[in-house]
A = this chain, B = another copy of it.
């Protein structure tokens, strides 16, 4: 296909028109074009029209890279680093962030760290080299002291879902411990004494907090903590299903299960699907269709979209120079009773 040549006296070149080109074609100075482009007040009506016409003809578009270089650091971009955008928890956070960013005419870059500290650091370095104005991060790494210099230079950095390590920064967390405590207590109140828990990495902040909530609930109700009822590092669906089977065939099996994330919940429920044992179940994180399964699923729910919005709002407040002390927000959780968490203990036979 031949590119269609348009009827201009300017040759259709392969290079992008600049303000200089526009100025030349309109017979004005570069600065005048700049004024028109940026809607500055003192420009003659006719000059403005002529310039705008040329801009349209040439298909000129302001180069925001050059602009932000000149203006300091106004790249009008912020970045979000999460674990995996395909996970609904993170995609809802991303949506919340983006909604706020659009109000400010900012773009958002989104990168998935895949829970890999090395990758995370590479991503963050790339982001900062591009001089984005702010960073929202769900950290995977275990040391964020390397961000201190960046913070001092004025780049707002906000941690979501997990706190920073070796760094003081704004942080927005879920009530992991309280939510889990609530879930376990709920099961205990329904008569359960042996409650299995299937989770991810127990050394990651959220994992540790949820484990702490589990232990606290047992302790406060005078129940024994039995490590043989716990399975960790089960973020992989296959491994979560294996864990489920292990617990079901435990010599003294649990009568209830608690899963610490949406992904794990789904895998566990799949494993339980063909089981005839009516085992009680509660999961951390709500998920679509939880209410429509044969046995509707009781969950600890929260609002990740809100989490993203509040994080972004805080970021923009800082970008606009508001002087706030370091913020530590906690998003509340809620027990949604649907049926699976209210089953009574039912011993195998």
**Interface residues, chain A, with chain B CB atoms under 8 Å away:** 1, 3, 12, 14-16, 59, 61-66, 68-69, 73, 75-77, 79, 84-86, 88, 91-92, 94-95, 98, 102, 105, 107-112, 125-131, 149-150, 152-154, 168, 266, 269-270, 273, 287-289, 291-294, 305, 326
Give 12 A-B contacts (CB < 8 Å), ordered by A residue: A14-B153, A61-B150, A63-B129, A102-B111, A102-B112, A107-B126, A107-B127, A108-B109, A108-B111, A110-B110, A266-B289, A287-B289
| Bound-state Cα–Cα, A131 to B135, Å | 21
Which of chain B's residues have a CB closer than 8 A to the CB of A107?
79, 109, 111, 126-127, 130
| Bound-state Cα–Cα, A64 to B110, Å | 18
Which of chain B's residues have a CB closer than 8 A to the CB of A79?
107
| Bound-state Cα–Cα, A86 to B99, Å | 11
| Bound-state Cα–Cα, A111 to B77, Å | 12
Question: A98 touching B110 by the CB < 8 A rule?
Answer: yes
Q: Quick one: closest B residue to A295, CB to CB? A: B294
Question: A109 touching B288 by the CB < 8 A rule?
Answer: no
Contact of A95 with B88 at beta-carbon distance under 8 Å, contacts A68-B65, A108-B111, A109-B109 already known:
no
Question: A84 touching B88 by the CB < 8 A rule?
Answer: no
Which of chain B's residues have a CB closer than 8 A to the CB of A15?
153
| Bound-state Cα–Cα, A17 to B105, Å | 28
| Bound-state Cα–Cα, A79 to B102, Å | 15
Question: B109 touching A94 by the CB < 8 A rule?
Answer: no
Q: Quick one: closest B residue to A293, CB to CB? A: B292
Q: Quick one: closest B residue to A127, CB to CB? A: B107
Q: Quick one: closest B residue to A90, CB to CB? A: B91
Question: B69 touching A66 by the CB < 8 A rule?
Answer: yes
| Bound-state Cα–Cα, A152 to B14, Å | 7
* A148 → chain B closest CB, angstroms: 8
